[in-house]
C-alpha cells in the first residue's frame, strides 16, 4: 500500500520492517512511560481554512456535544486500561478549534484531572475570533494556563488570501486580551512564505508580535498539502508557491529579528522569551491522543484514532478504543524517538506526502 511504504521509508528507512496496519484492541497498551502527556483533539472549526491539513469539520452543536460525551468516556476507558497509576505530564487541547466546545471545556479538563489527578500544565490552541474577555475567563476557570493563538498575519490582504475571517486589528486585539489574562505561556503563530508576501510584510508581522510581548513566537512556512483546496486552486491557476530559497531567506530574517529582541530559538520555528515556559504542541516524548484523529506514542507502539466522527462515536459506544491504525515499534525506530519524533498531535502523518486518499486506502475514513 502506498501509505505504508511512504511511512516506512520516512520513519524507518527502506530496509526496516515497518508495518502500519489496523490495530487490534488487545494491542492497546496497558502501561505507558511515566513521561507521557495527554493530547485531546477537538475536530471542529467555525470556518474551514483552505490551506489546513488537520482533521476537522465545520462546527455542529449536536455533533460536538456527542463527541465531547464520548471523549469523557474515552478518558475513563484509558484510566481503566492502564495498569499503573498514570500521571500525565501535561494536557494539550488542540484541533481544529478547541474553543468551539468552550461550554464543555471545564468538563473535559475536570474529567482528566478526576481520572488522572492534578495536571500542572494545561495548554490550548485558540483562533483569534475565539478570544474575548468572557471566553478567556472560561478558559482560565477551566484551569488552562498556556495558550497558543493562530494569528498568521496582521496584513488584511494576506489574511484574505489565507481565507481567515478577521483583520489585523482583531488579531492584535486577541493578543492584547490574552496578555491581560497573564497565562504562563502565550504563543502566537505566524505563517510566512504566503503567495505574494514580501520580506517587508513579514518583518512587520514579526515585529508586531515582538512588540506585543508574547512569551513565544512560532512561525510556519505555508505548506501546500496536495489534498487541500488551496493547493488545488494554486495548481489550477498555474501559480507557484514561494521558492525554498525565499522561505530560507525569510526564516533567516526571522532568526535575526527574534535574536535581537532577546528571544531564544527553542525549535526550528519557535522563539521563546527567557525565563518563560516553552509552549509546545509537538515535542512531548510520549503521548496518549484522544478524540477523532489523535495519535498516541508509548515508546513500544504508535497508533492513531479513526478520523471519522461517526465511527469514533460508534467505537466508544461499543466500549472499544477508537483506534484505526498502528504499529509496534522496532528498537531501532524507538531509538530515533518514534515514528513522529515526538508529535503529540497526530499531525505528523500530514507531512505533505501522505494524503487523504492514501489514508482512506488503509481504512482511515473522513480525513
Ligand X SMILES: C[S@@+](CC[C@H](N)C(=O)[O-])C[C@H]1O[C@@H](n2cnc3c(N)ncnc32)[C@H](O)[C@@H]1O
- Stretch binding ligand SF4 (CB under 6 A), from 50-58, 65-73, 182-190, 240-248: 50-58
Rounded Cα–Cα distance for residues 323 and 74 (Å):
11
Listed residue (233, 246, 364, 242) closest to 305, CA to CA: 364
Which one among 12, 42, 49, 175 touches ligand SF4, defined by CB under 6 A? 49
Q: How far apart are CA 346 and CA 90, in angstroms?
A: 16
The answer to whether the beta carbons of residues 174 and 150 sit under 8 Å apart is no
Closer to ligand SF4 by Cβ: residue 217 or 329: 217
Beta bridge partners of 92: 39, 123
Per CB under 6 A, which of residues 141..160 are in contact with ligand SF4? 150
Task: Tell whether the torsion through CA atoms of 20, 40, 147 and 158 is positive or negative.
Answer: positive
| Residue 297, strand partner residues | 287, 302
Residue 197 interacting with ligand X (CB under 6 A): no
Q: Which residue is nearest to ligand SF4 (CB)?
A: 52
Question: Measured from the CB atom, is 54 or 321 closer to ligand X?
Answer: 54
CA atoms within 13 A on the CB side of 96: 31
| Residue 48 binding ligand SF4, by CB under 6 A | yes
CA distances from 355 to 43, 291, 327, 350 (A): 18, 20, 19, 7
Residues 56-115 that bind ligand SF4 (CB under 6 A): 56, 95-97
If one asks whether residue 135 binds ligand X (CB under 6 A), the answer comes out as no
Helices and strands: H and E segment counts in the chain: 12, 14
Judged by CB under 6 A, the number of residues near ligand X is: 17
Q: For the chain, how big is the Rg over CA atoms in Å?
A: 20
* Residue 348, CA distances (Å) to 55, 102, 330 in order: 12, 26, 19
Task: Annotate each residue in 109-138 with x if it binds ligand SF4 (CB under 6 A) or - if it does not, as one string.
Answer: ------------------x-----------
Between 225 and 297, CB nearer to ligand X = 225
Return the one option of ligand X, ligand SF4, none that residue 234 interacts with (CB less than 5 to 8 A, by type). Answer: none
**How many other CB atoms are there within 10 angstroms of residue 269's CB atom?**
17
Q: For the beta carbon of residue 318, count every other beta carbon within 10 angstroms.
A: 8
* Partner that binds at residue 166, options ligand X, ligand SF4, none, CB closer than 5 to 8 Å by kind: none
Among 222, 324, 349, 354, binds ligand X (CB under 6 A): 222
The reply to whether 242 sits near ligand X by the rule CB under 6 A is no
Q: Select from ligand SF4, ligand X, none the partner in contact with residue 222, using the beta carbon and a kind-dependent cut-off of 5 to 8 Å.
A: ligand X
Does 185 bind ligand X (CB under 6 A)? Our answer is no
Phi, psi of 24 (to 5 degrees): -80, 155
Of 46-54, 85-93, 199-207, 254-262, the segment contacting ligand X by CB under 6 A is 46-54
> Quick one: DSSP state of residue 278?
P
Residue 189: contacted member of ligand SF4, ligand X, none (CB under 5 to 8 Å, by partner type): ligand X
Rounded to 5 degrees, what are φ and ψ at 13? Answer: 90, 165
List contacts with ligand SF4 (CB under 6 A).
45, 48-49, 52, 54, 56, 95-97, 127, 150
List contacts with ligand X (CB under 6 A).
45, 51-54, 95, 97, 125, 127, 150, 152, 189, 191, 220, 222-223, 225
Amino acid at each position: 500500500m502506498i501509505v505504508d511504504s511512504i511511512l516506512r521509508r520516512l520513519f524507518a528507512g527502506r530496509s526496516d520492517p515497518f508495518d502500519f496496519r489496523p490495530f487490534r484492541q488487545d494491542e492497546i497498551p496497558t502501561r505507558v512511560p511515566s513521561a507521557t502527556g495527554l493530547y485531546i483533539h477537538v475536530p471542529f472549526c467555525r470556518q474551514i481554512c483552505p490551506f489546513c491539513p488537520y482533521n476537522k469539520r465545520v462546527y455542529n452543536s449536536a455533533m460536538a456535544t456527542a463527541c465531547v460525551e464520548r471523549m469523557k468516556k474515552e478518558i475513563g476507558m484509558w484510566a481503566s486500561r492502564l495498569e499503573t497509576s498514570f500521571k500525565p505530564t501535561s494536557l494539550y487541547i488542540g484541533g481544529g478549534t478547541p474553543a468551539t466546545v468552550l461550554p464543555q471545556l471545564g468538563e473535559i479538563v475536570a474529567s482528566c484531572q478526576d481520572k488522572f489527578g492534578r495536571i500542572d500544565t494545561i495548554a490550548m490552541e485558540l483562533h483569534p475570533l475565539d478570544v474575548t474577555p468572557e471566553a478567556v475567563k472560561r478558559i482560565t476557570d477551566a484551569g488552562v494556563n498556556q495558550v497558543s493563538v493562530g494569528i498568521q498575519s496582521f496584513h488584511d490582504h494576506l489574511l484574505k488570501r489565507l481565507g481567515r475571517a478577521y483583520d489585523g486589528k482583531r488579531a492584535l486585539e486577541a493578543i492584547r486580551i490574552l496578555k491581560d489574562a497573564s497565562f504562563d505561556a502565550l504563543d502566537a503563530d505566524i505563517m510566512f512564505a504566503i503567495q505574494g508576501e514580501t520580506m517587508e510584510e513579514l518583518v512587520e508581522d514579526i515585529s508586531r508580535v515582538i512588540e506585543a510581548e508574547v512569551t513565544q513566537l512560532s512561525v510556519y512556512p505555508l505548506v501546500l498539502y496536495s489534498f487541500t483546496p488551496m493547493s488545488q486552486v494554486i495548481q489550477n491557476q498555474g501559480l507557484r508557491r514561494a521558492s525554498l530559497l525565499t522561505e530560507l531567506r525569510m526564516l533567516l530574517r526571522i532568526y535575526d529579528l527574534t535574536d535581537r529582541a532577546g528571544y531564544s530559538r527553542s525549535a526550528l520555528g519557535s522563539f521563546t522569551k527567557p525565563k518563560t515556559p516553552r509552549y509546545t504542541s509537538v515535542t512531548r516524548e510520549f503521548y496518549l491522543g484522544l478524540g477523532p484523529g489523535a495519535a498516541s506514542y508509548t515508546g513500544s507502539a504508535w497508533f492513531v484514532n479513526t478520523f471519522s466522527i461517526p465511527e469514533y462515536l460508534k467505537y466508544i459506544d461499543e466500549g472499544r478504543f477508537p483506534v484505526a491504525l498502528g504499529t509496534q515499534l522496532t528498537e531501532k525506530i524507538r531509538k530515533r524517538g518514534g515514528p513522529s519524533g515526538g508529535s503529540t498531535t497526530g499531525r505528523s502523518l500530514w507531512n505533505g506526502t501522505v494524503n487523504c486518499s492514501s489514508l482512506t486506502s488503509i481504512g482511515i475514513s473522513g480525513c
